[in-house]
Amino acid sequence: MKEGTERKLIIDGKRLDGRGFEELRPIKIEIGVLKRADGSCYLEVGDNKVIAAVYGPREMHPRHAQDAKMAVIKYRYNMAPFSVDDRKRPGPDRRSVEISKVSREAFDPVIMKEYYPKMAIEVYVEMLQSDAGTRTAGINAASVALADAGIPMTDLVSSIAVGKIDGEVVLDLTGVEDNNGEADMPIAMIARTNTITALQMDGHLTKEEFKRGLKLAMGACHQIYELQRAALIERYSKSEGREEKKRD
């Protein structure tokens, strides 16, 4: 539970990195960055740097974990030990298990799992550099990597966090803001249909703040959706992406 600290995060109406309250950090998306993956994406949101790799659909192992009616989605979020200031202990921990579960569930409504009974679709999200909002950056990258792998989906999923710092509701918290702020609320959604597929909250928001934050986050997801779409269109319209990738 967040308490907030004495550290000032808003000075003269601006945040410490110069952004306004409703401003996203710069986002960069690159597709097809890994040769061995069926689909991949490198994505930056400010100082977050993440790679998502998708494998499959391929046979699910162990066999007893297969689902006779649909594919099983495996989602592994991992934060590299060197991705944060104080080296993080390598390997899975409670946090990464929770983030993997929530992120997988964010894709449940869009992936057409029934097309691939007994198969597995594997999503690996590796944080190379972390500065808060890593689960949401990971979901954005995974969404594009799934599309790059040609996994049938009804739509893309887009994701961002809103939070509260110095009593103000703001978009897309940095690490300093997250550590010293009063609340952090990541969401994931299908932007085209305004369907929320994941929502978490750390800290406390009033009902009004929650409503304002949700509206802000939903607006930002629409912006992110356009960036994801534009990156996919660019990759596939110019170079007939998948064909070219196979020939590499």
Facing residues of 124 across strands? Answer: 53, 76
Is 132 an interacting residue with respect to ligand ADP (CB under 6 A)?
A: yes
Facing residues of 29 across strands? Answer: 43
Candidate residues 15, 88, 164, 245; the one interacting with ligand ADP per rule CB under 6 A: 88
Candidate residues 15, 49, 104, 135; the one interacting with ligand ADP per rule CB under 6 A: 135
Taking each helix axis from N to C end, the angle separating 134-148 and 207-239, rounded to the nearest 10 degrees, works out to 30
Candidate residues 10, 24, 70, 84; the one interacting with ligand ADP per rule CB under 6 A: 84
Candidate residues 178, 181, 205, 224; the one interacting with ligand ADP per rule CB under 6 A: 178
Dihedral of alpha carbons 109, 113, 119, 121, sign: negative
At residue 71, the 3 state secondary structure works out as coil
In the chain, the amino acid numbered 156 is L
Measured at CB, which residue is nearest to ligand ADP?
134
- Give the distance, in angstroms, between the CA of residue 66 and the centroid of all CA atoms in the same chain: 26
Both tokens assigned to 27: 């986002």
Q: Among residues 246, 190, 191, 180, which one has the least CA distance to residue 222? A: 191
Is 25 an interacting residue with respect to ligand ADP (CB under 6 A)?
A: no
Both tokens assigned to 234: 């660019």
By CB under 6 A, the residues from 89 to 118 that bind ligand ADP are 95
CB atoms within 10 A of CB 138: 30
Q: How far apart are CA 128 and CA 93, in angstroms?
A: 17
In the complex with ligand ADP, the residue whose CB is nearer, 72 or 165, is 165
Candidate residues 134, 140, 159, 197; the one interacting with ligand ADP per rule CB under 6 A: 134
Q: Binding marks (x or -) toward ligand ADP, 27..66, rule CB under 6 A? A: ----------------------------------------
Facing residues of 125 across strands? Answer: 52, 77
Candidate residues 39, 56, 133, 213; the one interacting with ligand ADP per rule CB under 6 A: 133
**Applying CB under 6 A, what is the total number of residues that bind ligand ADP?**
14
Composition of the chain by helix, strand, coil, percent to 5? 35, 30, 35
Stretch that binds ligand ADP, among 28-36, 116-124, 125-133, 203-211 (CB under 6 A): 125-133
In angstroms, give the least distance from the CB of 79 to ligand ADP. Answer: 6
Is 164 an interacting residue with respect to ligand ADP (CB under 6 A)?
A: no
Candidate residues 78, 130, 159, 197; the one interacting with ligand ADP per rule CB under 6 A: 130
Binding site for ligand ADP (CB under 6 A): 84, 86, 88, 95, 130-135, 175, 178, 184, 186
